[in-house]
Structure 1
């Protein structure tokens, strides 16, 4: 059993079940996001966050794998830094954050669980944006329906946050949209 399988077993022990996702199983999507981040050379904690990025549900995926009361237990499985990024990702009020993610101004953030508004520091913003890109790009690469519905909107988002992305992440989304030029207008 590899490390990721052991982590998923730990997640199941905390009460998570198998969920269907847009293009198959949620575990398949989480694993794909992790692998993408790993291939891009992301920090280990960012990769690990990719593996659990929907643990507490997201604004776009309402299913909650585990309760927020399990944060300490998740941190024991993937580490405190990765869990903090998972929480940040899951707590994101996407409408608030993405509407304000234009230009190089510091990233304004709103926690959808608490309603708290604050500014991400550059390290948080870079990790959050790289995870966001990997999540959305993994969906774009595996679902034509997702491309048709969100492809153009996500291109605009990626363009708006690209100053927070690694060169590898920027190249990845630019390569995708080079194959789908009608979405990048």
Structure 2
């Protein structure tokens, strides 16, 4: 059965390449002027899910940059939690006294988006976008403190896109448990569920949230939201659905290979399991990348090339890793080595020589 692999969009990959260097943001005309002020608030020292708060803010901004979002939306990504919110107790700017300072730094439109994003209920936002969806004109009503607040279509589109980037940057198995069934989270006693509480846990990729990200993306196809902002390139430019069952199956199959819960002498079973994972969820790069390496080990260079190209396309579309065990740039680097070996030959026969592989040229 043919695998649902993707051709590599060279323009998208070129945009992704420009973001591989950690210093990319220091050279970004829109974000660089804001960065020193943000860093001065010790965001590089604060814990945040799979890294630090700095890693998170920059990672969200990276996806939004890759997705060619305008300045105010990218600044929202970089600053999306600085006033604090219901999910984190971090408050880097006091909304009661420092709004004018942030407004002076980033401009009125960007600060307005940041303030709304931090102070409105994001749980309610996700529930309503995925539930009834926006109103006919693309606007959305949220309730807060007994008052109704109307988000404009532009604000709805911006919040959807930033929520997609925010989720893919941070979510992994630890949050699957502590925020189980988000946005409809049940309040469970921490001491009783101590095993789920242990951070970072097994670092398994999420088995729940890509379905939700896909649903948010599909909401951008609403007539009232179309054309307001560039559509992220994930899920075939937000046109494709990912079912709950398919996501769960793909994650479990992938993880069974990573945990070596398959026969280890020959690679036929692991290969078949990964192929099935890709069929269930063709929208993330890591299963395709591991599959490319298995194909190389089996001498199937053409198959390895197609799988590596598809993996690279997925990594280039997201700008963040699905499997958080290593960072996005490391996944991209290893995938490029696999693609190079599949294209030019030279995959090591000796196990120890894997330590020597490097990009050429």
Structure 1-normalised TM-score? 0.77
Q: Is the 8 A contact 1:97 1:110 kept in 2?
A: no
**Any idea what SS the aligned residue of 2:35 has?**
helix
Q: Partner residue of 1:75?
A: 103
Where do 1:82-121 residues align within 5 Å? 82-101=110-129, 102-106=131-135, 107-111=140-144, 116-121=147-152
2:83 equivalent to 1:56: yes
Cα displacement string for residues 31-81 of structure 1 (whole angstroms, at most 9, x for unaligned residues): 000010010111111011111111101211121111002111112222211
Q: Is the 8 A contact 1:133 1:169 kept in 2?
A: no
Runs of 4+ aligned residues of structure 1 deviating over 3 Å after TM superposition are 3-6, 146-151, 169-175
Paired residues, number: 177
Of residues 42, 47, 53, the one that matches 1:17 is: 42
Of residues 34, 37, 43, the one that matches 2:70 is: 43
**Any idea what SS the aligned residue of 1:99 has?**
helix
Instruction: For residue 161 of structure 1, report the CA deviation from its aligned partner.
Output: 5.9
Cα displacement string for residues 108-159 of structure 1 (whole angstroms, at most 9, x for unaligned residues): 2245xx664222121110011111111111113xx44235656425623641
> Which structure is larger by alpha-carbon Rg, 1 or 2?
2
Which stretch shows the higher mean deviation, 3-12 or 128-137? 3-12
Structure 1 residue ranges without an equivalent (≥5): none
- Structure with the higher helix share, 1 or 2: 1
Q: Is the 8 A contact 2:64 2:162 kept in 1?
A: yes
Structure 2 residue ranges without an equivalent (≥5): 1-22, 183-205, 222-230, 251-279, 281-361
**Any idea what SS the aligned residue of 1:100 has?**
helix
